Amino acid sequence: MYFRTCSLWRSTPTPNCINFVDVPEFSFAPRFTSSQMLHETRTSEALLKLPSPSKSHYILPADDSEIKRLNLQNRFLTREVCGGKLIYAPAMLQHGDKVLESGTGTGIWLVSLAGEVPPTISFTGIDIQTRLFPRDPDLPSNISFFQHSITNLPVEWTERFKFVNQRLLVGGLTSKEWEKALQETYRVLTPGGWFQCLEPNIPSNTDIGPYTERMFEILRNLLSVNGLLHDIVPVLCRTLPKTGFINVQKHTVSLSAHKRPTGTEFNHRTLMEWFFIALKPGMLATKLVESEEEFEELMRSMLKEWDESPEVAWSWSVIFAQKREQEHIPICA
């Protein structure tokens, strides 16, 4: 209960500590409709490819539309799942601390947090490819981006970072890669440092209607054929303590995907629509959907079921855990 309470608390920071709670407003949020997304052409070449010897299992695209989707999604999930907090865990950062984000994508979480703190705190974002990285030449000097996999971090990063953030890698890591990723995360955290991740709870069955169940069946198949996990939240809750983490906590929020309220530009229903649209090339590759026309008809039928089902909702979980204090990991020369 102590750490559950701490995860929601505000306190007055000491002179050398900063407590982060609120997500800033973003003036650059793009404006485009679900129909524009639905009819936008994506080719297999737009799917993420890893330009290293390692094989990527990532099932989402890496194009300009994905950048827009990810930025809006980040802001929405921060507000609705994390209560507006970029850091949900009870972590206190001090001047000189270092923060890592794995699977950083567009870097929006990292850049947003860096804009709220003194430049004496440094930020590192990593991803397996660089196409989504921000191209702003005016990025602060305390932010760096590198092409790395969370499953194989540099040895010199051992015990470097006070806080590690990660979001939505359910579509990027296999079961064995998750184990390695958590081991690497534990290694690069300072003793007492915190790890925070946010993932969806993908239902095993939906009970909404046949079209919704069909779409989620295809999603689960797409994850399975790529060796990915659809039940990542309970897997993380079991695996984190085995990796050595303590004070493992989970905060889950259920969000409606019923009819979009009038006048709203982006909500959970929009997020879910765009998520499935972004998955279209991968879903077509499973051959469970024969054509783009069949996919779009399935989308329309699924959304109609959502319109007619006030109870339609899915949940998201933010999970956080702490590395043990006074633990030193030797660096092999």
Q: Is 65 part of a structural domain of the chain?
A: yes
Segment 147-174 shows an average pLDDT of 96
How large is the angle between the packed helices 210-225 and 292-307, nearest 10 degrees? Answer: 130
DSSP assignment of 297-317 equals HHHHHHHHHHHT-TT-EEEEE
pLDDT number for residue 26? 33
Q: Is 253 part of a structural domain of the chain?
A: yes
pLDDT number for residue 52? 38
Query: The domain containing residue 260 runs over which residues?
Result: 2-322
Q: Is 204 part of a structural domain of the chain?
A: yes
User: Phi/psi zone of residue 199: left (φ > 0), alpha (ψ -120 to 50 degrees), beta?
Assistant: beta
pLDDT number for residue 67? 86
Please provide residue 161's backbone torsions phi and psi, each rounded to the nearest 5 degrees. Answer: -105, 135
Name which residue leads in pLDDT, 100 or 288: 100
pLDDT number for residue 10? 27
129-144 pLDDT per residue, tens: 898 999 888 899 999 9
pLDDT band at 206 (very low <50, low <70, confident <90, very high): confident
Name which residue leads in pLDDT, 264 or 185: 185
Q: Is 207 part of a structural domain of the chain?
A: yes
Say yes or no to pLDDT of 229 above 80.
yes
Say yes or no to pLDDT of 53 above 50.
no
Q: Nearest 5 degrees, angle CA 87-CA 156-CA 135? A: 55
pLDDT > 90: percent of the chain: 60
Q: Is 167 part of a structural domain of the chain?
A: yes
Write down the mean pLDDT value for the chain. Answer: 81
Cα of first residue to Cα of last residue in the chain, in angstroms, is 41
Poorest-confidence range of 46-50, 56-60, 106-110? 46-50
Q: Is 108 part of a structural domain of the chain?
A: yes
pLDDT number for residue 265? 67
Poorest-confidence range of 50-59, 136-145, 200-209, 255-264? 50-59
Q: Is 332 part of a structural domain of the chain?
A: no
Total domains present in the chain: 1
Say yes or no to pLDDT of 285 above 60.
yes
pLDDT number for residue 267? 87
Q: Nearest 5 degrees, angle CA 220-CA 224-CA 228? A: 100
Say yes or no to pLDDT of 95 above 80.
yes
Helix (H, G, I), strand (E, B) or coil at 237: helix
pLDDT number for residue 286? 86
Name which residue leads in pLDDT, 152 or 226: 152
Segment 245-263 shows an average pLDDT of 88
Gap between the Cα atoms of 39 and 12, Å rounded: 49
Name which residue leads in pLDDT, 305 or 32: 305
pLDDT number for residue 261? 63
Q: For the domain that residue 144 is a member of, what is the CATH number?
A: 3.40.50.150
- Give the pTM: 0.80
Q: Is 278 part of a structural domain of the chain?
A: yes
Poorest-confidence range of 96-100, 184-188, 216-220? 216-220
